[in-house]
Amino acid sequence: MRVWVVAVLSAMLTVGAAAQERVVPQSSAQVQLSYAPVVSRVAPAVVNVYTARVVRQAVNPFFQQFFGQGATRNRVEQSLGSGVIVRADGIVITNNHVVSGAQDIKVSLTDRREYQAKVLLADARTDLAVLKIDPGRETLPALQFGDSDRVQVGDLVLAIGDPFGVGQTVTSGIVSALARSNGGASDYQFFIQTDAAINPGNSGGALVTMDGKLIGINSSIVSASGGNIGIGFAIPVNMVRIVVDGALGGGIKRPWLGTDGQAVTAEIARTVGLPRPEGVLLSQVYPRSPAAQAGLRRGDVLLAIDGFEIPDSNALRYRVVTHRPGDTVIVKFYREGAMHDVSVRVALPSDEGRAETTIGDGNPLQGARVANITPALADEMQIDMMATGTVVLGVTNGSQAERFGFQQGDVIRQINGERIANVAQLRRALDTADAWRISLQRGDQTLNLTVR
């Protein structure tokens, strides 16, 4: 298809550059050009994903609203999404939001075969889920992974899924943009944007190239009405590959550089001496992290990883997390008027010294599960990687900690004026007092609690 398009463009430049002529097809084969060969090859691997879950619902909302109580009953909520078979033995990829909370999941193929599915891995951070169906001795149709790093703006693509439950639908378009950072609920905001029509129900479906390879999982759209307006987003297949490998190999392993920073603005570029705004200005480099060991430091501007430009922190995280721990990447950076290249061996963030424990009776934090903040835990909970101290991982139902309103992610800063640096110090501060003035950080807020 691309060869023919190039030939036509070439003919247009040769024949009709001056006049407003139109180039007609030169053969019957060109007249009959169609996406049908690609669709017939890839569509059987795109499936419907049906989910159901049981929820409690008030029988009479009037009593629930005004009296806070009333009879309830079970109601089955059903939803529909799409998925892609990526291995012939029954491995299916879809969006996490398609199956989140589901108690029953079924996968239906285009030939109406239907299978019960189980979740091998559901990863809210990437908004991806890996399902397994059992085809017995049958070999299922499966899509081959492409390379989303080779995709270019303007490439022709097809989006395949089941919008609004009308049945499998194929739409065509182009890659409208790359590295978009406003495309959905994923922690890794790095999406392929397309104008191929995507609607509700397409979530989890396939974005494929003209050679029939999977380059993305359709995930979300921008729309005021809920329908397609030509701005759709797909999770790049290089991220999908990492999640599938994690589901089949003991969990997702997310390497890090150990840096944080901000996109370089025009003002920052002038300040540091860059000729144009580009890259990420490092505001933090974690001690003993891969970046620190490679010699990177605060104030450096990261420009590229393995030749791929780094326009913002989202791109930086994506370029690192799509590698495997132990891989070596080439980082191009700017420092004090000069460009440099350095090899960095990415690794898993350290979880040493986590010291996870549950607080016992006799204090306001009874029933809270707490731990020391490690780089791995900071990454897991999406809190400041340079943070130190003790964080609440969860609270037991009915516990004192729940009663006093402690929540997952609360960082305990002080008790009775004493700074809390670790779990051991927290336990001592709780056990040696009969009244507590607790200061904690919740997001951007500082909260204080006094218990006597």
Query: Does residue 44 share a domain with residue 133?
Result: yes
Number of structural domains found in the chain:
4
Q: pTM for the full model? A: 0.81
Q: What pLDDT sits at residue 77?
A: 66
Distances (CA, A) of 50 to 118, 141, 163, 236: 12, 19, 13, 24
Query: Does residue 152 share a domain with residue 274?
Result: no
Say which range, 5-9, 249-253, 279-283, 365-369, has the weakest mean pLDDT: 5-9
Of the residues 252, 267, 298, which one is the last residue of a structural domain? 252
pLDDT digits (tens, 9 = 90+) for 317-342: 999 999 999 999 999 999 999 999 99
Query: Does residue 277 share a domain with residue 230?
Result: no
d(CA 295, CA 285): 10
For the chain, what is the radius of gyration of the CA atoms?
A: 26
Of the residues 325, 345, 365, which one is the last residue of a structural domain? 345
Helix ranges restricted to H, 76-183: 96-99
Output the DSSP codes for 185-201. S-SS--EEEE-S---TT
Query: Does residue 420 share a domain with residue 324?
Result: no
Which entry of 79, 82, 97, 162 is annotated as an active-site residue? 97
Q: Can 127 be counted among the known catalytic residues?
A: yes
Which entry of 203, 219, 313, 399 is annotated as an active-site residue? 203
Please say if the pLDDT value at position 31 is more than 80: no
Q: What pLDDT sits at residue 63?
A: 53
Distances (CA, A) of 264 to 272, 282, 292: 10, 10, 21
Query: Does residue 221 share a domain with residue 137?
Result: yes
Span 244-260, average pLDDT: 92
Element (H, E) at 161: strand 156-161
61: confidence class by pLDDT, cuts 50, 70, 90: low
pLDDT digits (tens, 9 = 90+) for 387-439: 889 999 999 999 999 999 999 999 999 999 999 999 999 999 999 888 999 99
Please say if the pLDDT value at position 209 is more than 80: yes
Q: Is residue 64 part of a domain?
A: no
Of the residues 236, 252, 268, which one is the last residue of a structural domain? 252
Position 356, amino acid: E
Q: Is residue 268 part of a domain?
A: yes
Span 116-137, average pLDDT: 94
Q: What is the CATH number of the domain that holds 381?
A: 2.30.42.10
pLDDT digits (tens, 9 = 90+) for 65-88: 555 555 566 666 677 899 999 999
Q: Can 97 be counted among the known catalytic residues?
A: yes
Span 252-257, average pLDDT: 92
- Look up the domain containing 160 and give its range: 36-52+79-252
Query: Does residue 144 share a domain with residue 103?
Result: yes
Region label for 18, one of left (φ > 0), alpha (ψ between -120 and 50) or beta (otherwise): alpha
Query: Does residue 307 share a domain with residue 227?
Result: no
pLDDT digits (tens, 9 = 90+) for 134-191: 999 889 999 999 999 999 999 999 999 998 888 899 999 999 999 887 655 666 778 9
Position 428, amino acid: R
Q: Is residue 68 part of a domain?
A: no
Q: Can 203 be counted among the known catalytic residues?
A: yes
Q: Which residue has the tokens 């029509």?
A: 197
Higher local confidence (pLDDT), 447 or 443: 447
Q: What pLDDT sits at residue 342?
A: 97
Q: Is residue 63 part of a domain?
A: no
Query: Does residue 119 share a domain with residue 83?
Result: yes
Which entry of 79, 82, 123, 127 is annotated as an active-site residue? 127
Whole-number average pLDDT of the chain: 87
Q: Is residue 70 part of a domain?
A: no
